[in-house]
Amino acid sequence: MPANPNPIDARALGKVAVLMGGRSAEREVSLMSGGGVLAALRSRGVDAHAFDPAERTMDELKREGFDRCFIALHGRFGEDGTVQGALELLGIPYTGPGVMASAVAMDKLMTKRIWLAEGLPTPAWRQVHSAEETRAAFEALGTPMIVKPVREGSTIGLTKVMATDECEAAYALAAGQDPMVMCEQFIAGQEVTCPVLGSGTSARALPVIRIVAPDGNYDYQNKYFTDDTQYLVPCGLPPGEEEAIQALVLKAFRALDCRGWARADVMIDARTRRPWLLEINTSPGMTSHSLVPMSARATGLSYEDLCLSVLATADLDNPAGARRP
């Protein structure tokens, strides 16, 4: 089946705001994502305009007659339900999951609690409030251990702890980004990611990408600013593993009531080959190093048509509140 069998009428999408920048720690990446999306939409004939919520007030979207928004914001104040709530009040459809799904997915603890309740595999964790509790978590979870802020992305504030004497600095780094800090069992093995496009029963998982980072360190620098990380698609996993991961990611997507699009990160235990869900990103990156465009390309869907397809899914939690033409 072609990746995009139904042509989309760009003119019917109306005046579009590409929300980019914002006030989160991921502002720099968001500007790169938004710039790419803006150029792609314009190349397909969409009346698209840049809009930075850090520099303008949200009510300007309504005053200037925008019909829908492509959210290219990352992190807090963009991916966490706050902007989605504002757009619900304005009655302007937007890309990606709604208010509740966005807020839950941004909160790694709440995400894990829901996945656990749904019987989906995710590494063991502890919420911590001090360096002392971090040391106790290290004793419980084992070596190595991941320490990270609960409500940040792009590995910002994350530390891989190898020894007890590293716990204090790791906690301080994470707490500097978010007062909510978590420790997580480290799964040794292969790191993969899998995007989802669509909603409900029509949602489909795209090809899995296997990530091979220098020294296994897939940090902020290696994600966005170097060419040293390898992204393998086809992923080259043993027979049946890719399909199993795609099925798992679809369950994770639906468990949080996501819609539109998202991307889930998964670790495959090297010893047991069991996949473990790490987190789900509800406003995935769209930079030159980003993974959703890479996976979509493997199905024959270009960057430009991916942006157009995502934009066409823009919706509201409460469509009855949308402005009438």
pLDDT digits (tens, 9 = 90+) for 142-165: 999 999 999 987 688 999 999 999
Report yes or no: 186 and 145 within 8 Å, Cβ to Cβ: yes
Q: What pLDDT does residue 214 have?
A: 75
Q: Residues in the chain, how many?
A: 325
Contacts of 78 (CB under 8 A, 6+ apart): 19, 22, 24, 30, 53, 71, 283
Q: What pLDDT does residue 3 have?
A: 46
Record the pTM.
0.90
- All CATH 3.30.470.20 domain ranges of the chain, comma separated, are 105-122+187-305
Q: Which CATH architecture has domain 125-185?
A: 2-Layer Sandwich (3.30)
Q: What pLDDT does residue 2 have?
A: 43
Q: Which stretches of the chain drop beneath a pLDDT of 70?
A: 1-6, 154, 215-226, 320-325
- All CATH 3.30.1490.20 domain ranges of the chain, comma separated, are 125-185
Side-chain half-sphere CA neighbours of 43 within 13 A: 13
- All CATH 3.40.50.20 domain ranges of the chain, comma separated, are 10-95+316-321
Tell me the CATH number for domain 10-95+316-321. 3.40.50.20
Residues recognised as catalytic: 26, 154, 224, 263, 265, 279, 281, 285
* The CATH number, out of the four listed (3.40.50.300, 1.10.340.30, 3.30.470.20, 3.30.1490.20), of the domain defined by the range 105-122+187-305: 3.30.470.20
